[in-house]
Structure 1
Amino acid sequence: MTEQAASGASAGLWRRLMNGRDPGEEHRAATPLELFFDLCFVVAVAKAAAELHHAIAEAHLADGLVGYLSVFFAIWWAWMNFTWFASAYDTDDVPYRLLTLVQMAGVLVLAAGVPAAFEHFDFTLVVVGYVLMRVALIAQWLRAAAEHPEGRGTALRYAAGIAVVQVGWIARLWAPGMWAGITFVVLVLAELAVPAWAEARGGQTHWHPRHIAERYSLFTIIVLGEVILASLTAVQSAVSASGVSVPLVLVAAGGLVLVFALWWIYFTGAEAHLGSLRTALTWGYGHFVVFAALAAVGAGLGVTVDAATHHAHVSEQAAALSVAVPVAVVMLVLAVLHRLTGTGAVERAVLVLAGAVVVLAFAATPPLFGLGGAMVGMGLTVSMTLAGNLVLSARHARGRG
């Protein structure tokens, strides 16, 4: 490489023009920075799931669920916004990386505030972390507006919409009594409305459909990995405290089969087709439920381990429900999303519905089969639902051939 070429490469690394990526770019894949970014976010997911686990085990379900959904929305929404921005404007130069670092720092601050949010409904540190992430994203959008004339209107709308809502989140810290809940709902709706408003009024950003689908898939794997880690930690603690027992082995085995089957259901069929903004937003927003429910499965598995070793303050039926409910939610929402994006992974919606009902029914069976038997039954039910859809998909493919 000549000295002039090396100088040009170095200059390109320092600063590249943020003029929008090609949405039809071949072989577009997640970057190392995006993967590193995801790992920071899964720390926050793990903290939220751990707090939910403790809340359920201590019979504080209502408070725990409110705290969990509130915190998880902040985590997911900040991740989603960065992911879609990066799909359209990733330059991977020094300013871009530094602003991404600020967002990563913000999510770690948010994660540090999760215990206070659960235990005292004190969201101060969570909001500080969230605002750090959002201010960095506003800076990214302003840079895109300055350097990409074609997308300037959309970029400015994003920056303005995000900024206005962040002022609302800060002001909400002083909302008294019932207004705290009301303002939370209003601000969540405002957040969800910003992309639709910005894209519809200013023109669609150049996000890459296949890149977006891959990013969501990778984050799903990371969340499932967190579920496995949380379950393993719970089992290790139980073995250290009480030793190995048949119920504990059955709970662990049933949980592993369950998580593997859920992974297979997600990664069955063709790549998601995100052909329109409406489809993409519905698919993207629907993943809030998928991610939150998958992480909640990990919390529920921790509760079942506690119940199996008599360290939980809830019944075995309640412990089984803490797994069955999020599993059923994942199955049903994935069925809708698979249908929406034409992946072909769900051939019979009634089969998925029946599987979800049977999973919920197993939550009532611990008095008959024990908690371990109920967990094994859930795992087998999800596996059979998967197998039925695979068989039907294969028949449908042969019929078309």
Structure 2
Amino acid sequence: MSEGDSTVERIGPLRRVMHGRDPDEAHRASTPLELLFDLTFVVAVSQAAAQLHHALAEGHVGAGLAGYAAVFFAIWWAWMNFTWFASAYDTDDVPYRLLTLLQMAGVLVLAAGVPRAFRHGDFAIVVVGYVIMRVAILTQWLRAAAEHPEGRGGALRYAAGIVVVQVGWIARLWAPGIWAPLTFVVLVAAELAVPAWAEYRGSATHWHPEHITERYSLFTIIVLGEVILASFAAVQSAVSAHGLSPSVLLIVMGGLFLVFALWWIYFTGSDAHLSALRTALTWGYGHYVVFAALAALGAGLEAALDAAEHHGHLSARTGGLAVAIPTAIVLVVLGVLHRVTGTGAVGRGWLVAVGVLVVLALGFSPPVLGVGGAVLGIGLAVAATLAANLAVFRHRAVAAR
């Protein structure tokens, strides 16, 4: 290949027909554009986690969790829609790249609206950002329908579903009183139903199983990175104000154990088998809880530091539970996903259950152990849960030989 041809290859074509990608394509890896796209979600995830931390610190636990769940759904769903579409139809030409740029702009608008959504329940800016993203992905599906006859039925169903549900989100801005949360639940259910309807009733899209698992793995790294960054900022603030106290040091150690152990647990199941659509949807949808809980763990560690340093309105026990509850949720959901996909180290239900019970008990223990002791204990309990699962896994593998 000449130097000119190599440059053209790197730049990408101006225009190519949008055919479905080969789901058995070898060495299908995340593209630089996908990685750049993910970086915009760093902003959105950090905004959601920061607002959850502020809500916890101010004692607005219920409202903070509700707002966080709603905002994080919009973030995750936009990312998931792009990811699965790109796995099936990434042409990497100029129109595709420009529409991806539009989606990135929508993510940033959505992120800008997160504080108002949390503090005032005003989702107008979030919806504007969501509309921008949905217009871009709608255009992509219509292009796929026009240029890929084999997948036209499914592509048109995706496009129709996006339009109908998006109109619902816009109309919801005027929903009064109790209708606001009720319509939110209905629209979330409708969003989740669109892919199942399009895939089962139309022609299945050509998403690549290994590419999908890699994309989810990379987003997990991003969320864990947010946990580390948020925790570091909180530790730096505490040390600057009062020095490195024993409680802060224990929280730092416990947080590091937690991030490393949860990373290890997740990546024992990162080669999930997603050949069946039902398994793929269960695995894909289950990651909403995984991602949201991991990001909430960052807010929880910040809240634990606040409680240890007697900032805000958090009791020591609430600070411990702010770490324990998202950790327990991650363990439970990953345990279920590992069993569903037949991969991963934490598919042993009783071991996971014991680990979860210990973690939750430690969440209630700060009046006895202190916040730092509780967080360190939670980190060690997750590490022990991983070690026990790995030991059983290895024993069964040896016995089966």
Which bracket does the TM-score occupy, shorter chain normalised? over 0.9
CA distance in 2, matches of 1:353, 1:378: 14
Deviation at 1:195, TM superposition (A): 0.3
2:130 aligns with 130
Cα distance 1:12–1:216, how it changes in 2: closer, same or farther (>3 A)?
closer
Cα distance 1:257–1:7, how it changes in 2: closer, same or farther (>3 A)?
closer
Residues 94-113 of structure 1 aligned to structure 2 (within 5 Å): 94-113=94-113
Deviation at 1:344, TM superposition (A): 4.0
Which sits farther off after the overlay, 294-303 or 240-249? 240-249
Cα distance 1:386–1:2, how it changes in 2: closer, same or farther (>3 A)?
closer
CA distance in 1, matches of 2:148, 2:338: 34
1:65 aligns with 65
Question: Does 2:94 match 1:79?
Answer: no
Deviation at 1:399, TM superposition (A): 1.4
Residues 197-346 of structure 1 aligned to structure 2 (within 5 Å): 197-269=197-269, 271-346=271-346
Cα distance 1:298–1:4, how it changes in 2: closer, same or farther (>3 A)?
closer
Is the 8 Å Cα contact of residues 332 and 352 (structure 1) preserved in structure 2?
Answer: yes
CA distance in 2, matches of 1:28, 1:12: 17
Residue 227 of structure 1 aligns to a residue whose secondary structure is helix
Which sits farther off after the overlay, 234-243 or 217-226? 234-243
The residue identity in structure 2 corresponding to 1:400 is A
The CA deviation string for residues 159-212 of structure 1, in whole angstroms up to 9 with x for no partner, is 111011111111111111111111111111110000001111112100000000
Cα distance 1:275–1:11, how it changes in 2: closer, same or farther (>3 A)?
closer
Question: Does 2:366 match 1:366?
Answer: yes
Is the 8 Å Cα contact of residues 338 and 345 (structure 2) preserved in structure 1?
Answer: yes
Deviation at 1:308, TM superposition (A): 0.9
Cα distance 1:75–1:8, how it changes in 2: closer, same or farther (>3 A)?
closer
2:149 aligns with 149
Residue 244 of structure 1 aligns to a residue whose secondary structure is coil
Is the 8 Å Cα contact of residues 267 and 344 (structure 2) preserved in structure 1?
Answer: no
The CA deviation string for residues 53-86 of structure 1, in whole angstroms up to 9 with x for no partner, is 0101110001111110010000000100100000
Question: Does 2:178 match 1:178?
Answer: yes
What is the RMSD of the two structures over their aligned residues, measured on CA atoms? 1.7
CA distance in 1, matches of 2:272, 2:212: 9
1:164 aligns with 164
The CA deviation string for residues 202-260 of structure 1, in whole angstroms up to 9 with x for no partner, is 12100000000110011001100000000000111111112111111111111111111
CA distance in 2, matches of 1:202, 1:379: 46
Cα distance 1:203–1:350, how it changes in 2: closer, same or farther (>3 A)?
same
Is the 8 Å Cα contact of residues 110 and 126 (structure 1) preserved in structure 2?
Answer: yes
CA distance in 2, matches of 1:368, 1:15: 65
Runs of 4 or more, structure 1, over 4 Å off, are 1-12
CA distance in 1, matches of 2:164, 2:364: 47
Is the 8 Å Cα contact of residues 347 and 392 (structure 1) preserved in structure 2?
Answer: no
Is the 8 Å Cα contact of residues 55 and 64 (structure 1) preserved in structure 2?
Answer: yes
CA distance in 1, matches of 2:9, 2:259: 45
Deviation at 1:5, TM superposition (A): 6.4
CA distance in 2, matches of 1:270, 1:166: 32
The residue identity in structure 2 corresponding to 1:333 is V
Deviation at 1:51, TM superposition (A): 0.3
In structure 1, stretches of 5+ residues that fail to align are: none
Deviation at 1:8, TM superposition (A): 8.3
Deviation at 1:12, TM superposition (A): 6.0
Is the 8 Å Cα contact of residues 12 and 92 (structure 2) preserved in structure 1?
Answer: no
CA distance in 2, matches of 1:396, 1:330: 24
CA distance in 2, matches of 1:30, 1:69: 28
In structure 2, stretches of 5+ residues that fail to align are: none
Cα distance 1:164–1:307, how it changes in 2: closer, same or farther (>3 A)?
same
Is the 8 Å Cα contact of residues 290 and 330 (structure 2) preserved in structure 1?
Answer: yes
Deviation at 1:397, TM superposition (A): 1.2
Is the 8 Å Cα contact of residues 250 and 375 (structure 1) preserved in structure 2?
Answer: yes
2:114 aligns with 114
State the aligned residue count: 401
Deviation at 1:312, TM superposition (A): 2.5
Cα distance 1:120–1:40, how it changes in 2: closer, same or farther (>3 A)?
same
Residue 100 of structure 2 aligns to a residue whose secondary structure is helix
Is the 8 Å Cα contact of residues 214 and 270 (structure 2) preserved in structure 1?
Answer: no
Is the 8 Å Cα contact of residues 30 and 211 (structure 2) preserved in structure 1?
Answer: yes
The residue identity in structure 2 corresponding to 1:203 is S
The CA deviation string for residues 301-327 of structure 1, in whole angstroms up to 9 with x for no partner, is 000111111112111000100110000
Deviation at 1:269, TM superposition (A): 4.6
The residue identity in structure 2 corresponding to 1:385 is T
The residue identity in structure 1 corresponding to 2:343 is T
CA distance in 2, matches of 1:154, 1:177: 37
Is the 8 Å Cα contact of residues 344 and 393 (structure 1) preserved in structure 2?
Answer: no
Question: Does 2:359 match 1:381?
Answer: no
